[in-house]
Structure 1
C-alpha cells in the first residue's frame, strides 16, 4: 500500500472520473499482496533450500493495468470511464501522470517507462510454494486501500482547496429566491441537452455524461434549511465532487430584492486544481452567465406584458 506505483494508481482513480489511457495500460501484470510477500520472506528465513536463489513472485491473477484500475476503483466505489487512445506518446503520459498525481517526475518517469513491459512470473523461476501467494487480487486491493497512511516517497502533493464562487443575477419583479431555484432546475435540462445532460427527480438534479450511470454532480434541494428568500442546494454526489454534503449552491435575495446572489460554498472538486480551473470552473461560470441571461429575459418579458 505504501509503494509509489500503487499510490499513483490510487490517486488517478480518485481524481479522474474519465481517463484517456495510452496503449501501455493494456500491458499484463501479476500483482501480489503485501502480506503474501511477507509470507514468502518469512519462509526464506526458515528454509535453507530456497536461500541464495532467484524467484519470480506473482499473485494468483494476471490483469492489465486497465483491469487493475477498474478493480481498485470498485473497492473505493470510484468507477472510472476508460478510453483507450493508442497514439498518446510516452512522454506525454509521463507528464500527465505527474501533474495529476503530484508525484515527482523523477519517480514517475522510470515507473511509466517500465509499464511498457509485461511483469509476469516466469514458470521456470516461479516461487515453489504457491500457497504463500494465494490472496485474491480483490482482497489484496481492499486491504491496501484501507490503509490511508501517507506514502513513503516525498513529493509535492497538491493542496486541497475549497471552491467559493459568487455571481449576482437579476431577480425578476414579483419573484423570490425559491422561484429562482425552481426555475434553475427547469432551465438546466434545456441548457444541457447534448454532451452533458440533466435528470430531474423531485428535489434532486443529476448532471451526467452520455449515460445516467456516469454521474458528474448531484444537487439536492434542502427545504428544511431553505426559505423563500434563501435557497440551499447541496452537492451530494457525483464524480466531480471529492466531498459530499458540505458543498452547496445558494440563491439569496440581496439589494432590496432586485438581485439574487448565486454562490458556491465549500465545494471541493475531485479534479486536480489546475485541471478544475480550466475546465469545470469555466463551465460553471458559463452556466451561471447563461442562467443570468435567462432571468433577464423574464424581466424583459414581464415589461412587455405590462406595456
Structure 2
C-alpha cells in the first residue's frame, strides 16, 4: 500500500512510519514546514491547503496531527489550539481524500483518524465500549468535532476508522517520563481518590492495531485503542511503583490537582474511562501486552 501519515514526528507517528516501511508499504509524510527529504510533502492544514496530487494515488491515510495535550493550565488560546489543530487537519485530509475518491472511484481507500477515549467523558466504573455516547466536558466535545471532521471522506466512500486512543505506555511517552521522575524521587502516589480508571495501551499494541486496521476491511467507525484490562489510578500507581521499586504511599489531594492544573486536571487526571477494545477484539486483533504489568515491563526493557 501507499500510505500518507500526518503527525509523523510525534511519539506514535515516529514509531509507526518505520513499522509500516518494515511491512513493505510505501510511506509519505505530510509536514507543515519545508520538506527536507523526498518522502516529505508540505501541507497547510490551518488554511485547508494540500496539493491534490499528493493523495491522488494513496491507498491509506493515517491522520495523527494535532497540538499535544500537556499537563498545564488550559488558557482560552491553548484550548482553541487543541480544537482547531485537530479539526482543521482532519477536515483538510478528509476533503482531499473525498476529491481523490471522486477522481478515481475504483481505488479502495481507508482513513485511520486519531481521536481519544476522552470522547466518553468521565464514566466512573462503567465499562465503556464504542457505542457509548459522548461526554459533555471540553475534551469530549473536542473529540466529537474532531471525529465529525472525517465526514467528507466517509460520505465519498472512504472507509474511516476513528482511533480512540488511551494512555500510551512507552519509556519516551510524556506521561511515563513525568511519572517516572516523580516515582524515582519517592513522591509517587495515587491522584485524588484513585478510583478513576486509566485506560492504557502499550506503544507496540497501538502501532500493531493501526497496522491491523489498515487491512481490516469490515471495520469502520470508532475503535477503542486501549489495552484489554484497564485499571484504576490507584492500581496504576501501585503497579508503576512496583515496576520502578519505589514506594507509593502518598496521595495528591483532588483540590491540589484542580488548583494546579485547572480544567486539564479535572478532565484528564481526576476523570477516567473504563474503556475496553471491544471492536478490536471482535475483529480478531491479538494484544501482545495483555496487562499493565506487561506494558510497563516492555516500556522499561524495550521488549
State the TM-score, normalizing by the size of structure 1. 0.23
- Structure exhibiting the larger radius of gyration computed from Cα positions: 1
State the TM-score, normalizing by the size of structure 2. 0.23
